[in-house]
Structure 1
């Protein structure tokens, strides 16, 4: 459960902001977006679209995150974190906007989508919070307890399995 290499691309201020939201679980990802000056909007997006980040004159950072209102809460949380990842890592490439499909594919390269996915996982499931949950709930970091970790962090079981490497 190492932190991804993408963290090295962030400024000290950005890291401090993220870490401030990782003191308790689940990570308040909407609050984190707001702390970066992003506005999060639940929208009726097409079925195969999970989210988007678009230029906006109404948010402090100049971008809005749109999230498909019809998807599960765990999916919406990951989408917000994924779009925050695009903002932090690829803001110079957003241009007129980035729309991500349910497989987190967009006009950006597969490498950039993978970077945003790793950043989202690091934001929502930091190693220190996983260890804290293990301690608080008195459960080991094993596949047997993936559901408990996923529920505590409000992420999907699949995302939690990937994060734990099980």
Structure 2
């Protein structure tokens, strides 16, 4: 789905430095947010329709904040790209797939939509221009990059691979 220019401009305005203020960005779209939601243990996050055309994002209180950030970005991706498919909402498990363990098992959200939301989240939280800048400043040190962007090492590793950048492991720096 193609996003409108004003949406892209708003997103870019939040990508001037790392970490991206995902909470502020979500709220700037009029979406409410709960970072302390008590969700089924298998559910990482959910987006729910409230009051007609307003939405609410909730992330599992038991998840690490870096995972919560990715989940928030993923759910924002659903809001911006798949709103017509959300119905009353959708729950996403730890692999970011809608399952029946939560409140909303949404069969309209297909694996391709989940992949799109994951790609959106990675691009949002780890914009290419910032990743490349910090990658070269930090000599590709994966753990430091993960901390600057407030994402998991796994998410950063995937993002670097998508940009054809090879991270340096801790052992390579010490040795």
Shorter-chain TM-score bucket reads 0.7 to 0.9
CA distance in 2, matches of 1:48, 1:131: 34
CA distance in 1, matches of 2:51, 2:134: 39
Name the one with the larger helix percent: 1
CA distance in 2, matches of 1:50, 1:157: 18
4+ aligned runs moved over 4 Å, structure 1: none
* Deviation digits for residues 55-99 of structure 1 (CA, Å, limit 9, x no counterpart): 1129xx600001101100000000000000000110001101110
Q: Number of aligned residue pairs: give it.
A: 152
Is residue 157 from structure 1 mapped to residue 153 from structure 2 by the alignment?
Answer: yes
TM normalised by structure 1 equals 0.87
Gaps in structure 1 of 5+ consecutive residues = 1-5
Match in the other structure for 1:54: 48
Match in the other structure for 1:45: 39
Match in the other structure for 1:79: 71
CA distance in 1, matches of 2:132, 2:96: 28
CA distance in 1, matches of 2:88, 2:51: 13
1:133: how far off?
A: 2.0
Structure possessing the higher radius of gyration over alpha carbons: 2
1:131: how far off?
A: 2.4
Match in the other structure for 1:127: 128
TM normalised by structure 2 equals 0.83
Match in the other structure for 2:138: 139
- SS of the residue corresponding to residue 82 of structure 2 reads helix
More moved, 156-165 vs 37-46: 37-46
CA distance in 2, matches of 1:36, 1:129: 23
1:140: how far off?
A: 2.7
Higher relative contact order (CA 8 A, sep 6+): 1
- SS of the residue corresponding to residue 47 of structure 2 reads strand
